Amino acid sequence: MRHLLSAADLDAEAAILVLDTAAELAAVTDRSVKKLPTLRGRTVVNLFFEDSTRTRISFEMAAKRLSADVINFAAKGSSVSKGESLKDTALTLEAMGADAVVIRHHASGAPHRLATAGWIAGAVVNAGDGTHEHPTQALLDAFTLRRHLRGGTGGLDGLRVTIVGDVLHSRVARSNVLLLATLGADVTLVAPPTLLPTGVHEWPCRVSYDIDEALPSSDAVMMLRVQAERMHDAYFPSAREYSRAYGLDRDRLGALPDHAIVMHPGPMNRGMEISAEVADSDRAVMVEQVTNGVSVRMAVLYLLLGGSTGEK
């Protein structure tokens, strides 16, 4: 693996290797000195064209725990008309000797472009691009699912995961469908038809318009953020109607099997896709997802940068 651009870059073996590596590295987090010398002397650049404090901090912490030097590069705008171009930014980072570039960009495919246009030589990690993918989010979700529901080892064979919300605009959903299916899970997407992408019926998952039909047979339910402003583009009539039809409230929580967990990639819209009671319940694992995010990102950087040898 040279880059991590899409969850589709990982076959089951590679995905399980990332998860197993993350599990080993997670042990470091439990020590009083939370640091490994593995990436000493290597430089990881966090190139964020979009505000995302939580993802940036997670990558920053992951790199620092591996002793890498971390540079945070927050760029505003991207097209030629709005400031420095992606290309010039990339050339700058290359000149500074970045070993890995973690990129968050509002344009789908920007990480792919960065990795293939010949601008830089280092590894590229997609930290979320437009409405395309967010592969490390999918990895941390798989890690969390595995730890809770599969004893922390192997794949996710037969695990029933329901993903609810704005699939159309969600990079989290795309990466999760790909990765969880690769790991053997049975994924169901639930959304109003307006918030499902064209061609979703060819994805490796089931599709439903009815959350209440899906919940009783779910081992985990993942709620996606839904922006209330989508109502202005007629994706749904009102925030209240959306919330009634697709929101996870206390009654719906009761419809889940007892062992089922509730996930959310954050940031949550309490009262929209998830009620405050559910978000704060002991079934919700959002805080643990954040912790696992650091471990999984450590594993990705470790595997991409080839451990401690310092060789490229």
Partner 1 sequence: MSHEATAPETVVLRGARPYGEDQVDIVVRDGVIAELAPPGTGSAAVVVDADGLVALPGLVDLHTHLREPGREDAETVETGSRAAALGGYTAVFAMANTLPVADTAGVVEQVWRLGQEAGLVDVFPVGAVTVGLGGTQLAELGAMAGSAARVRVFSDDGKCVHDAVLMRRALEYVKAFDGVIAQHAQEPRLTEDAQMNEGVLSGVLGLTGWPAVAEESVIARDVLLAHHVGSRLHVCHVSTAGSVDIIRWAKARGIEVTAEVTPHHLLLTEDLVRSYDPVYKVNPPLRTSADVEALWEGLADGTIDVVATDHAPHALEDKDCEWGAAAFGMLGLQTALSVVVQTMLLTGRLDWRGVADRMSVAPARIGRAHGHGAGVQRGATASIVLVDPEATWVVDPEGLASKSRNSPYRGMELPAQVRHVLRAGRITVRDGELAS
Q: Which is nearer to partner 1, 74 or 276 (CB)?
A: 74
Q: What are phi and psi of 175, to 5 degrees?
A: -65, -40
Binder of partner 1 out of 71, 109, 245, 306 (CB under 8 A): 109
Q: What are phi and psi of 163, to 5 degrees?
A: -110, 125
**Cβ 105 to partner 1 shortest distance, Å:** 7
Q: Which is nearer to partner 1, 131 or 208 (CB)?
A: 131
Is residue 229 a contact point for partner 1 (CB under 8 A)? no
Stretch that binds partner 1, among 56-64, 65-73, 80-88, 138-146 (CB under 8 A): 80-88
Tokens found for residue 244: 């009634």
Is residue 232 a contact point for partner 1 (CB under 8 A)? no
Is residue 199 a contact point for partner 1 (CB under 8 A)? yes
Place of tokens 């039809």: 245
Q: How many CB atoms lie within 10 A of CB 121?
A: 10
**x/- string (CB under 8 A) for partner 1, residues 1-40?**
----------------------------------------
Q: Up-side HSE of residue 97: CA atoms within 13 Å toward CB?
A: 7
Q: Which is nearer to partner 1, 82 or 244 (CB)?
A: 82
**Cβ 292 to partner 1 shortest distance, Å:** 24
**x/- string (CB under 8 A) for partner 1, residues 118-157?**
-----------xxxxx------------------------
Stretch that binds partner 1, among 12-20, 34-42, 78-86, 285-293 (CB under 8 A): 78-86
Q: Which is nearer to partner 1, 110 or 260 (CB)?
A: 110
**Total residues interacting with partner 1, rule: CB under 8 A:** 29
Binder of partner 1 out of 87, 206, 230, 283 (CB under 8 A): 87
Q: Which is nearer to partner 1, 79 or 309 (CB)?
A: 79
Is residue 225 a contact point for partner 1 (CB under 8 A)? no
Query: Which residues form the interface with partner 1 (CB under 8 A)?
Result: 78-80, 85-87, 105-110, 112-113, 116-117, 129-133, 171, 174, 197-200, 202-203
